């Protein structure tokens, strides 16, 4: 009986865990002719987890955080091991600002205005592709698909 109870407890724990990278929808985004693949997170639970507990990112891959309405956003790197750059993006797809974030650093990095999206990429990706504030991200989910 104890084994069955342990099995049921483990099953419930595992089934309650947030989706893995393999379960996340992936979309293609384009910025200044640079194409990237992005996992999309839209729920409070998946946004809270983000890229935590990962140790690598594939080249030209990132994570797009989608919010319900434009708002000031703040991100940190708790339990995140990959150095990241984050682009805060407004409702028109325009990059407001890009911030570099250090692994395991819990200081908050803020958007410079109301953002509807945040795109995390491996640190330095935006700079290496000559992408900066004011550039437009194409391929973002439309309001009807959020």
Domain 19-140 has CATH 1.10.3720.10: no
Q: Which residues contact 95 (CB under 8 A, 6 or more apart)?
A: 31, 87, 88, 89, 131, 132, 133, 134, 135, 136, 137
pLDDT tens profile 47-96: 999 999 999 999 999 999 999 999 999 999 999 999 999 999 999 999 99
Note whether 100 and 83 are within 8 A (CB).
yes
* pTM over 0.85, yes/no: no
**Beta sheet of 137-138, edge-to-edge order:** 95-101, 84-89, 115-122, 61-71, 34-41, 26-31, 137-138
Predicted confidence (pLDDT) per residue in 19-29, tens digit: 445 578 999 99
> Picking from 2-11, 46-55, 121-130, which range would have the lowest pLDDT averaged per residue?
2-11
pLDDT digits (tens, 9 = 90+) for 55-64: 999 999 999 9
Q: What is the pLDDT of residue 22?
A: 55
């Amino acid at each position: 009986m104890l084994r069955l109870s342990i099995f049921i407890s483990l099953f419930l724990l595992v089934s309650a865990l947030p989706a893995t990278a393999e379960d996340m929808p992936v979309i293609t985004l384009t910025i200044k002719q640079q194409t990237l693949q992005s996992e999309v997170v839209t729920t409070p639970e998946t946004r809270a987890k983000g890229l935590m507990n990962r140790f690598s990112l594939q080249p030209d891959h990132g994570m797009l955080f989608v919010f319900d309405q434009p708002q000031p956003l703040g991100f940190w790197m708790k339990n995140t091991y990959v150095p990241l750059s984050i682009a805060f993006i407004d409702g028109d797809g325009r990059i407001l600002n890009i911030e570099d974030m250090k692994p395991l650093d819990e200081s908050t990095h803020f958007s410079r205005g109301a953002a509807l999206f945040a795109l995390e990429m491996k640190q330095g990706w935006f700079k290496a592709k000559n992408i900066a504030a004011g550039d437009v991200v194409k391929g973002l989910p439309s309001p009807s698909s959020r």
